[in-house]
Amino acid sequence: MEETRYLEAATDFVRVAELIPESKTGLAARFNAGLCYEYAKKPAEAAVQYKLRLDANSEASERATILYRLATVYEQAKSWPEAIESLKELRTHPLNIIDEMDVRTRLGEALFQNGSLDASDTELDGAIAFWEANQNVSILRTGADISKAKFTKARILEARFDKMPLRLPVERMKQDLKNKIRAFKKIQTAYLDVVRHTSTHYSARAGHAIGLLYESMYDQLMRAEVPENFTESDYVIYYEHLRKKIRPLLFRAAEIYRTNLELAVRAGNTGEWVQESRASVEKIKALIRESLEDPEPHLFKKYIRPKVEKPAANEPTSD
């Protein structure tokens, strides 16, 4: 009902803005239309109104305010290139210490979400250095932005970890596995660092992410390269031996999910990450049950990579 009222108000403000677009009242109406759409949870529509207001004549202080709102709705709409553009321009305006940290952290996350891992890493390093240099500001020292910055840094490490291969022959796989384990430990340490900060929201997210990390490690080990000449019986023997070795990863994930859920509920956190933790507990139980079943070919099919068909000797290959 409340969202409907905001939508009705937005329509009225748009009408005023279009009737007298260049007037002070018309410009204010355009901005208010954006606010109403934003409160009605219509970020794409809000972005249109804020952008129109931004493109009209405005003083630097007004422009910074509009950019702040514009970046927010772009983030809500997951329009990451546009969010990055808005946040980058916002960085050029004079900002107080709290807003500076907020914008730096949000820009780092937007770059991450857009797939620019190196740029995100650099931006977040700057945000963390800024936080460390302003420890005399208590609200900055204990605020959620540092947790968010470090959480996103950990996600960057995990995104790189996910791309690390486990390849044959055996000697190469041994080195790949060493690299994988080293990266795994680094990510876990990064998430634990987030847990130590004061934000209950990001502590819950980081705890859940550690559980997912163990689950992911199990999955990636199960999907490692195997010899192409394996028969079905070879697969059964191999995967049965492997899952016995790595099953503790699933037990550890289950333990982390349960502990994280208990701590989050005790802290009064009832957000989406708590719901996701509950779902993860059930999912990991199913994986553990599956890992304890007698080895059957159908259990392992999802882990087997499809074989790449090699062209015949007399068949031309494309460039």
Nearest to 101 by CA among 60, 59, 149: 149
Q: Domain segments of the chain: what residues?
A: 1-77, 199-303
Per-residue pLDDT tens digits of the chain, which is 319 residues long: 688 999 999 999 999 999 999 999 999 999 999 999 999 999 999 999 999 999 997 788 899 999 999 999 999 999 999 999 999 999 999 999 999 999 999 999 999 999 999 999 999 999 999 999 999 999 999 899 999 999 999 999 999 999 999 999 999 999 999 999 999 999 999 999 999 888 888 988 899 999 999 999 999 999 999 998 988 889 889 988 999 999 999 999 999 999 888 887 787 766 676 778 888 888 999 989 888 877 676 667 788 776 655 555 555 554 4
318 burial type by CB count under 10 A (0-12 exposed, 13-18 middle, 19+ buried)? exposed
Predicted TM-score (pTM) of the model is 0.89
- Crossing angle, helix 200-222 and helix 145-162, to 10 degrees? 0
CA angle 98, 100, 101 (to 5 degrees): 70
What is the spatial distance between Cα 258 and Cα 99, in angstroms, rounded to a whole number?
Answer: 36
The secondary element (H helix, E strand) that includes residue 187 is helix 170-195
The predicted-structure confidence for 231-285, as pLDDT tens digits, reads as follows: 888 988 998 899 999 999 999 999 999 988 888 778 776 667 677 888 888 899 9
Indicate the fold that domain 1-77 takes in CATH.
1.25.40
Biggest alpha carbon–alpha carbon distance for the chain: 78
CB 56 within 8 A of CB 24: no
Amino acid letter, residue 103: V
H and E: helices and strands count for the chain: 14, 0
